[in-house]
Amino acid sequence: MRPYKKDAFKAQEYIRLSAHALLCEDDNDQSLNSHEQHDIVFLTYRKAHTLLQAGKLCMRRMQYYCAKSAFEKAISCLKNCKMTSLEQKRRKKGMLIALFETLMICLNKMRRYRCVCHVMKDLRLLTINNPSALALCQHGRALSHLGKYYPSRLCYLKALKKSPRDKSIMNKITRINKRINDIEETSKMLSQLSI
């Protein structure tokens, strides 16, 4: 057995504790100076960006559970980090929006449609009820799979207002209108048969 080197062991323990402190930052801790706080914010943002890229890579490889895990870790990491300047808050908000949108795509691919609706609630809070066309399309897709065709059509119409030249959104609206018309015709026929 080789004897342990005390200095090496202390260095490894210090690295482990400092990494743990970075991930479990206390918002009420005032002992950090502004430079240290800036470093922590930078490291947290960089970690979230790395997790976003790793999640996108997993999605390209169709490893949706790994991608979902990466996106959720990045979201919790950013939510727990306290940003001080307006520039940091703006970057944090942009990164969170990107993470929520890619998480919605991932959840739709996993057929976890109710989870997409929950993520949309968080995204609406973050964007002050002004989500992007991509997020609205993902929410509309989830709602249509849940059988909620009228709210789904409303989501697609809002997305079309945001990007009016997108033909894929127009095709989705046409498809959902056809499905709604079929349902209405079927319900009329059933009501006539019951009389």
Nearest-angstrom CA–CA distance, 194 and 100: 47
pTM over 0.75: yes
The pLDDT of residue 128 is 94
Range of the domain at 194: 132-195
Residue showing tokens 């993470």? 99
Is residue 100 domain-resident?
A: yes
Cβ neighbors of 77 (< 8 A, separation 6 or more) are: 23, 44, 47, 48, 51
pLDDT at 63: 95
Same domain (yes/no): 102, 145: no
54 in a structural domain: yes
The rounded mean pLDDT for the chain is: 85
Kindly state whether residue 178 falls inside one of the protein's structural domains: yes
Cα→Cα distances 53→60, 67, 82, 95, 100, Å:
11, 9, 22, 12, 13
pLDDT for the residue 121: 96
First to last CA, the chain: 90
One domain for residues 145 and 181: yes
**Predicted local distance difference test score (pLDDT) of residue 13:** 52
In this predicted structure, which of 14-23, 38-47, 56-65, 103-112 has the lowest mean pLDDT?
Answer: 14-23
**Same domain, yes or no: 106 and 146:** no
Is a pLDDT exceeding 90 seen at residue 6?
Answer: no
pLDDT per position as a tens digit, 11-33: 445 444 444 444 444 444 444 45
**Alpha-carbon distances, residue 16 vs 144, 173, 191 (angstroms):** 47, 53, 69
Position 137 scores a pLDDT of 97
In 3D, which of 90, 104, 92 has the Cα closest to residue 47? 92
What's the pLDDT tens digit per position in 121-169? 999 999 999 999 999 999 999 999 999 999 999 999 999 999 999 999 9
Residue count (the chain) = 195
Q: Examine the pLDDT at 52 and tell me if it is beyond 80.
A: yes
Domain presence at residue 149: yes
Q: What is the pLDDT of residue 195?
A: 62
| Domain-embedded: residue 157 | yes
Residues 6+ away with beta carbon under 8 Å from 47 = 74, 77
Q: Are residues 150 and 102 in the same domain?
A: no
**Identity of the amino acid at 78:** L
What is the number of structural domains in the chain?
2
**CATH code of the domain covering residue 94:** 1.20.58.80
Separation CA 171–CA 36 (nearest Å): 51
104 in the same domain as 45:
yes
